[in-house]
Amino acid sequence: MTHSEVHSVGRRGDTVLQLMVLAVPVAVTVWLLTLLGPVRAQGALRFGIEWVPSLGVALDFLVDGLSLLFALLVGGIGIFVTVYAAGYLRGHPLLRRFYLYLLLFMLGMLGLVLAGNLITLFVFWEITTLASYLLIGFDHASATARRSALQALLVTALGGLALLVGLVLLGMVASSFDLAAVLARGEQVRQHALYTPIFLLIIIGAFAKSAQVPLHFWLPNAMAAPTPVSAYLHSATMVKAGIYLIARLHPVLASTDLWMWTLTLVGAATAVIAAVLALRQTDLKLALAYTTLVALGTLTMFLGSDDSVAVAAAITFVLVHSFYKAALFMVVGIVDHQAGTREINALGGLAGRLPVTFVAALAAGLSMAGFPPFLGFIGKELKYEGALAIATEPVLVAGAAVFANALMVAVAATVVLKPFVGSRPPALTATREASVSLWLGPLLLAALGLTFGLAPGLLADTLVQPAVTAILGRPETVKLKLWHGVNVPLLLSVLTLALGVAVFVWQRRMRDLLSRAARWLPLSADRLWDGALAALRRGAYLHTRWLQHGVLKGYLAVVFAAVAAGLLWVLVHSGGLPEQLGWPRLTVKEWAALALVLAGTLAAVGCRAPLTAICSLGAMGVGIALIYLFFGAPDVAITQLLVETLFLVLVAMILHRLPLANAVRGPRVRLGHALLASAVGIAVSLAILLVLQQPFGSPTKNYFELAAVPEAFGRNIVNVILVDFRALDTFGEVVVVLIAAVGAAALLGSRRRALSARAQGTRRNP
């Protein structure tokens, strides 16, 4: 088989694969479209199975107007993205892996927007986080892609942790994890003392996912992903997950001052800051990424209100934005693919070379800029109407919206005009139009923007109105119209266009001005992030060093200090010190045994020669055996003597080879050791004395004495306990000794092997 044959077989295999992958979003979209009618009729559909019933977790799905709208976006844009990716990544060696990640992401996203249970929702939420990590880092050989992927993962996963806590609290407060039940208990949740923490935790998760200031920095970096991924994740899906969550929980958490102010201010700040930053970019894809931030900020701002026009504006804008942003990302991808660059200054005059792409770009750009008769115009008019309808802060919201939209106009003009009109740089003469699979998606999406703009009724009744009804929890009528007559929103639109054109005309000068201003700005969120990561690593290193220093003495000192402190603490808290210590009345031989133990102990510390030390310990052992013997424990005494002898023999056999030199250390260190040792010793003594003062009654003692003969037929009670009542313990003990013996044999017996291994090591590293 020749090389080209292999290639064509691979190509054919790829085509089959692409068709199979494409079947998934197509099937999902068709199925969702069939649900449009029933959802409109019934409000919400539910289906699912039990998952963890004991915890109230169900694999449960809820299809209402809101979730249907987002699911349709996920499935519908998914179709275009799959087609586009087939052209964009043609012949890519890791195509299968890409489709796997893409489908995983699609699954997670669909599950997220359709989930009918708080915990299920969170699980799908995390699936999208993981899948987006894989997708952003798809170009895994690039360090930038890896860094961006990790950054996106960490930011959104940290937000996810906050979200999990928030959802669990919400479930507890609403006494159900079932979404429908939670949605019905908004009043109960808002009255609860835990409302503020619940709101903050959930909103942090949503803001991290939807890249609101100050957690916005990961999104522009995520442009390291292949363009089909950017078109999917950053137009219709991933970043809209946070928006979906905000809209989903709107009936539960909204209508408070906290909700209104947080969302309005953060959303407005995100929109304005991102609009300014978008202007700075000379990379087309980055400019689009920043306008995505603008869109997300605008959506958040409008969802802060519970006015029906504002919410309808947000929902319409979700649709508008998904259509034009996905189309424009794909257009930029085509330009990049065909011309080899996305830099504004290196592009120009491609309209003749990429005619179809230019048409798609023009239509999408006009929708983005908000020209009639595109859907973008309706969306923008509705935004201004909504902004003016917001009772508390109409000026702030309208001002932010006008500012953001004006800059959107400028960026739209840049993206559409800069690469396609003007003089063509000589490097671009060989550029040719892309294949059908590449331009089909953007063209159709842009056409959708025009179609729905001309016939907004198609959207208003089927998608927008049910979604607004679901968000506000009350039946709403939404009318979308192209022509509203001359009113304030129209005047604002004219103002926006004028501002946008002005910005576009003077954009080079403004960009210079901005980059000069940026140089004065000491830090960016991105650099702060790097600093935080470095500090985290440094902190982990230091505290590991501090806790795991590798000095045996240090570990032991901590253990013994903890023992002493624990014992003394218990002693102090359990009624203080023992009283009435009488001088023990002992016979001479008992005193002698005690003295023997004491002398052996102290001699073991003092002596320098190992043999002397072990003999002192032997003397101590004999003393202890004598004590056992004097106080009614002859069996123990015999065992003690036997073991003592055996151990002495063992040690004596090896001892002469080992040194017992004192480690060199100062008297102050020794004093410290002595103090710690004394503290442990005193604590143990006091504990025993205190135990001895308690009245003694042992039911087990009586039990064993009474049961030994009748039940176990033995007259030596100790023996009976060992081999009968606690036989399993004794068996364990035998096993322990056996394991110790095997271990010791393994350690000592491999002398020859150890020597040969060392010899080999020496040979390897001379």
Partner 1 sequence: METALAVLVGIMVATGVYLMLTANLLRYLFGLILLSNAANLAIFATGRLTRAVPPLVPEGLQAPAEPVANALPQAMILTAIVIGFGLLAFTLALVVRCYRELGTLDANAMRLSEPPAADEEH
- Of 573-612, binders to partner 1 (CB under 8 A) are 581-582, 584, 586, 590, 594, 597-598, 601-602, 604-605, 610
DSSP H or E run through 308: helix 308-339
Q: Is 130 in the site for partner 1 (CB under 8 A)?
A: no
Residue 617 found at the interface with partner 1 (CB under 8 A):
yes
Per-residue contact track with partner 1, 11 to 50, x per CB under 8 A? ----------------------------------------
Based on CB atoms, which residue is closest to partner 1, 377 or 725?
725
Of 23 and 688, nearer to partner 1 (C-beta) is 688
- In the complex, minimum distance from the CB of residue 4 to partner 1, in angstroms, rounded to a whole number: 56
Q: Are 335 and 397 in contact (CB under 8 A)?
A: no
Q: What type of residue sits at position 631?
A: F
Residue 131 has which token pair?
A: 């899948």
Nearer to partner 1, 104 or 682 (CB): 682
Contacts with partner 1: how many residues (CB under 8 A)?
A: 102
Q: Which stretches does DSSP call E strand in 564-612?
A: none
- Residue 426 CA, chain-centre distance (Å), reads 47
Q: Is 127 in the site for partner 1 (CB under 8 A)?
A: no
Neighbouring-strand partners of residue 59: 49
Of 4, 698, 762, 765, the one binding partner 1 by CB under 8 A:
698
Hey, is 752 helix, strand or coil? helix
Q: Is 12 exposed, middle or buried (0-12, 13-18, 19+ CB in 10 A)?
A: exposed
Of these, 454, 681, 731, 759, which contacts partner 1 (CB under 8 A)?
681
660 near 609, Cβ under 8 Å? yes
Q: What are phi and psi of 46, to 5 degrees?
A: -135, 140
CB of 546 to partner 1, least distance (A): 10
Binding status of residue 648 toward partner 1 by CB under 8 A: no
Task: Indicate whether 682 belongs to the interface with partner 1 (CB under 8 A).
Answer: yes
| 458/739 with CB nearer partner 1 | 739
- In the list 646, 731, 759, 760, the residue contacting partner 1 (rule: CB under 8 A) is 646
Quick note: the x/- pattern for partner 1 over 47-86, rule CB under 8 A, is: ----------------------------------------
Helices (H), 64-142: 65-88, 95-114, 118-136
- 88's CB contacts (< 8 A; 6+ apart) are 226, 227, 228, 333, 337, 438
Q: Is 484 in the site for partner 1 (CB under 8 A)?
A: no
Q: Which stretch binds partner 1 (CB under 8 A): 132-140, 267-275, 450-458, 669-677?
A: 669-677
Alpha-carbon gap, residue 349 to 365, rounded angstroms? 17
At 422 the three-state DSSP class reads: coil
Nearer Cβ to partner 1 (3/753): 753
Report d(CA 110, CA 103) in Å as an integer: 10
Length of the chain: 766
Listed ranges 134-142, 213-221, 457-465, 552-560: which one lies at the site for partner 1 (CB under 8 A): 552-560
Question: Rounded to a whole number, what is the distance in angstroms from the first to the last CA of the chain?
Answer: 51
Among 369, 692, 753, 759, binds partner 1 (CB under 8 A): 692
CA distance 45 to 31: 13
Interface with partner 1 (CB under 8 A), residue from 8, 345, 392, 685 = 685
Question: Which structure tokens are listed for 369?
Answer: 């800029």
Q: Which of 196/719 has CB closer to partner 1?
A: 719
User: Distance (Å, rounded) from C-alpha 563 to C-alpha 160?
Assistant: 40
**Which range in 122-130, 238-246, 396-404, 708-716 contacts partner 1 by CB under 8 A?**
708-716
> Do the Cβ atoms of 215 and 95 come closer than 8 Å?
no
Min dist. Cβ of residue 409 to partner 1 (A): 56
